[in-house]
Amino acid sequence: MGTTEIAKLLGVSRQRVGQLAQSESFPEPVARLAAGPIWESADVKRWAREAGRID
């Protein structure tokens, strides 16, 4: 999942996702493509639940 998909999941801007991704608690991307970093969906959703951002 890319920054656009994460932004939709969390209800924030793509720029905010970039800020969140720099925090130590955010999952590491599984790949860095020319279009940007890509994360495993399960990792992001787990982080979001633990951070209280989604149910």
Where are the domains positioned within the chain?
A: 3-50
Task: Identify the pLDDT of residue 55.
Answer: 87
Which helix (H) or strand (E) element contains residue 33? strand 31-33
Task: Identify the pLDDT of residue 27.
Answer: 98
Which of 49, 43, 51, 39 is CA-nearest to residue 3?
A: 39
pTM of the model: 0.93
Q: What is the pLDDT of residues 17-44, one digit of tens each?
A: 999 999 999 999 999 999 999 999 999 9
Task: Identify the pLDDT of residue 42.
Answer: 98
3-state helix, strand and coil shares in percent for the chain, rounded to the nearest 5 = 45, 10, 40
Concatenate the DSSP letters of all residues of 1-55 into one string: --HHHHHHHHTS-HHHHHHHHTSTTSPPPSEEETTEEE--HHHHHHHHHHTTS--
pLDDT interval class at 49 (50, 70, 90): very high
